[in-house]
Amino acid sequence: MIKLKDLLNEVDSKKSIVSLKGDYPGSKVYQAVGDGRTTVKAQQTNKTWDDGAPMTNKFGPKKTSKVPKGKFWVLDTKKFWYYELKGVWNAIKKSEYGTPPGFEF
pLDDT for position 14: 80
Distance CA 94, CA 100 (A): 8
Q: What is the pLDDT of residue 85?
A: 87
pLDDT tens per residue, range 24-82: 999 999 999 999 999 999 999 999 988 888 999 999 999 999 999 999 999 999 999 99
User: For residue 17, what pLDDT is reported?
Assistant: 85
**Residue 89 pLDDT greater than 70, yes or no:** yes
pLDDT band per the 50, 70, 90 thresholds, residue 4: very low
Identify any residues that bridge with 31 across adjacent strands, giving them in sequence order. Answer: 73
Question: Residue 7: pLDDT above 50?
Answer: no
pLDDT at 19: 83
* Domain total of the chain: 1
Domain containing 32: what range?
4-104
Q: How far apart are CA 71 and CA 33, in angstroms?
A: 4
- Contact assessment for residue 32 and residue 83, using Cβ atoms and an 8 Å cutoff: yes
